[in-house]
Structure 1
Amino acid sequence: MKSFWNNLGYQGVGIVEANSHSGGIWVLCSNSNISVRVLDVVDQCISFEITMGNTSSYRSAVYANPHIHRRKELWGDLTRIANMIHGPWIVLGDFNDVLLQSEVRGGQFRLARAEQFAETLEDCGLFDMGAIRRRFTWYRKVKGGVQVAKKLDRAVINQDWRLMFPEAYTEVLARLHSDHCPLFTRCKMAKRATKGHRPFRFQAVWMTHPLFRNVVDTAWNRGAPDVVKCLLEVQKDATSFNKKVFGNIFVKKRELERLLNDVQITLESREDQQLRIKEQVLHQELNAVLLQEELLWYQKSREQWTVIRRKRNKIHGLFLEDGSWTTETTTL
């Protein structure tokens, strides 16, 4: 089997051999421009790091055991691996479980198992990427000719992975010689702004500084009555204000924490009224910086989830009247 893939230009990255006709995972790579490092291998999951240039991300390929007691081992392994990974992460494959009742047709939905699966994803910071073309990924006929269908295969990702690949999506392809449908995840990295040309973003946290309103008023008046020029002047002065006056919140926070710690250590050995006053002042300044930090992270999180919502609302293709799927763009 290795020679077969080698002849097609693929190299084996990680392999878990099948047990008779059950299980088995092969991770193959055909791109010589990327570096692959295996992080962890267990019988139900292979995890690895992919590096391309200065960019790294993580992948895990899973083939969950059909027996629930063994599948619980996989949930534990994924939680363990999540603690090893700090960055973009996608996990894809056959999880042999469903999350929602709508992911089952003609079979039983077991709530307890779905809850265990959902809790594992939440503990790992993962969420379902979603898929196009098909609702189910596994089909099997049972007695009486009734066909059972379930969504057992999926791709789940963390927020960092979605931000790195905002246009990525997963297709459920046609099944041929298996009762499972193949998954095909198409990745497209976000374009990075070149150095020196970062887009301007208004930071709500600037409004907490008493001097910022005057910065905006002065810049706006300088550009009036041309609104476009006013906005450009505000952008220029706000950027300068951020660099020269407002400064780095995280640097301020560390410095205030250091000063407060030094004062409190000194007060443990001797009482000093001036140091008590300084301690109170440092407390107030640190609280103000913590509020600014909270506002900064809140705005950042809103921007990130906007990217995610935009991806979920993006139309990748349409079903035509004849039932065929198309991704071609036509002009009416």
Structure 2
Amino acid sequence: MFGIEVAPRGRSGGLMLLWEKSQVVQIRSYSDDYIDAEIQGEDGNGKWRFTDFYCNPEVTRRKASWERLVRLSQDSSLPWMCAGDFNEVLFQHEKTGCARPGWQIRDFRNALQQSNFSDIGYEGQTFTWWNRREHPSTVRARLDRACANVRWQMQFPNSRVEHLPLIHSDHCPLLIRFLPNPYVKPEQQKRRFRFEAMWLRSPRCEEVIRSGWGEVQARDPNHTVWEKVRNCRVALLQWEKVDFGNMKRRIKQTEDRIALKQQGLFDDETNREVRILKRQLEEYKSNENMMWQQRSKTEWLCERDRNTKFFHATASSRKKQNEIRRIKDVNGNWCKDKHEIQMFFWDIFATSSPVVVRRAGYLKTC
């Protein structure tokens, strides 16, 4: 077992990151309130980044923590997940007792937005911290969470965060389960050249082709056409990386901003900002939609079913919500074993006269 520890400050703080000997982990940097690491993925998945974060519990010093988080986001473009004790909530309903000052919540949201983060959700109880006082002085809040950028969520679409019971600490442990994307290939095949229809939308396309075609001055006429075509291919691919590569990054950034804003309170100003971002996103996505149409043998792609990362991220989220991950049996015990859950429903449909209404009462929202 390997690891790194950051000593606590008095009775608060303190960080520790541990990993198995078989894992390849590189510590990028650390301080009193974070440990930043780069992890080599397994089963053909590339590197990704994990940050163990602790936000300063003193309100007057919290701004410095948010600024540090934003600076960390600028250090790398890897798929990134950040988890820990943020000592803040994103919404008023994530806290019981007295209301949280609005400006504190806004500062937290702004920090996540600038870092291109979105909350990846949770299973189990809502609150991760309590003040250990009896009713009516009890205060509970969701101060601990895991956030990730879109690239990490696309690489690990089956990720789950579980809030474990509060036992020894006033904070509950977070158990993060994730599986890599089963569709990621261990080795990328050599790219097949396609002349993209979306290139024709740009006035520079003809200029790039003319330039590539005119560079060849071969003496052998048998090689002239072949070399001209090859030069055009190279010129088009280089041009695509510059112009359309930037477009893809703008799509990602805009999607992150929309997703984060839609998690917040929808006032008039937020609605206006979301509408502007959506118009920008529609403009950016038009070329990508044309690319997918070109690859489809049938015209299945339509305006309401666009094949983009944002659509897939939303669909993956809905898929996770539609799963039955645990049931309560007739004895009142929770069961998480997949085989036993399957047998539960098998018994219902295999019985000649199943008491579906009575047994369905054991299904709970997980």
Query: TM-score under structure 2 normalisation?
Result: 0.60
Change (3 A) 1:197 1:52: closer
Report what 2:342 is aligned to: 330
Report what 1:262 is aligned to: none
Question: What is the CA–CA distance in structure 1 between the aligned matches of 2:35 and 2:76, rounded to whole Å?
Answer: 13
Report what 1:42 is aligned to: 31
What secondary structure sits across from 2:308 in the alignment?
helix
**Aligned residues, how many?**
253
Contact 1:57 1:89 (8 Å CA) reproduced: yes
Provide Cα deviations, 1:60-85, integer angstroms capped at 9, x if missing partner.
00122210122211111111111101
Report what 1:160 is aligned to: 151
Q: Does 1:310 align with 2:315?
A: yes
Contact 2:288 2:308 (8 Å CA) reproduced: no
Report the alpha carbon displacement of residue 302 of structure 1 after superposing the two structures with TM. Answer: 4.6
Q: Does 1:251 align with 2:238?
A: yes
What secondary structure sits across from 1:105 in the alignment?
coil
Paired AA for residue 11 in structure 2: H
**Higher share in strand:** 1
Contact 2:51 2:82 (8 Å CA) reproduced: yes
Report what 2:103 is aligned to: 112
Instruction: Tell me the C-alpha RMSD between the 2 structures.
Output: 3.6
Question: What is the CA–CA distance in structure 1 between the aligned matches of 2:233 and 2:197, rounded to whole Å?
Answer: 7
Q: Does 1:187 align with 2:197?
A: no
Question: What is the CA–CA distance in structure 2 between the aligned matches of 1:49 and 1:115, rounded to whole Å?
Answer: 29
Paired AA for residue 326 in structure 1: K
Question: What is the CA–CA distance in structure 2 between the aligned matches of 1:42 and 1:255, rounded to whole Å?
Answer: 37
Structure 2: give runs of 5+ residues left out of the alignment: 202-229, 244-282, 293-305, 346-366
Q: Does 1:29 align with 2:34?
A: no
Percent identical residues: 24
Report what 2:287 is aligned to: 295
Change (3 A) 1:68 1:255: closer
In the alignment, which of 107, 115, 125 is matched to residue 116 of structure 2? 125
Provide Cα deviations, 1:115-162, integer angstroms capped at 9, x if missing partner.
000000000000001001111111224475432111000000000100
Contact 1:51 1:57 (8 Å CA) reproduced: yes
Provide Cα deviations, 1:172-227, integer angstroms capped at 9, x if missing partner.
001111111100111101122365889x9xx9x637769xxxxxxxxxxxxxxxxx
Question: What is the CA–CA distance in structure 1 between the aligned matches of 2:242 and 2:61, rounded to whole Å?
Answer: 50
What secondary structure sits across from 2:28 in the alignment?
strand
Higher Rg: 1
Question: What is the CA–CA distance in structure 2 between the aligned matches of 1:248 and 1:292, rounded to whole Å?
Answer: 23
Report what 1:56 is aligned to: 47
Question: What is the CA–CA distance in structure 2 between the aligned matches of 1:133 and 1:209, rounded to whole Å?
Answer: 51
What secondary structure sits across from 1:181 in the alignment?
coil
Query: TM-score under structure 1 normalisation?
Result: 0.66
Report the alpha carbon displacement of residue 249 of structure 1 after superposing the two structures with TM. Answer: 5.4
Change (3 A) 1:171 1:127: same
Question: What is the CA–CA distance in structure 1 between the aligned matches of 2:163 and 2:84, rounded to whole Å?
Answer: 12
Paired AA for residue 330 in structure 1: Q
Change (3 A) 1:109 1:34: same
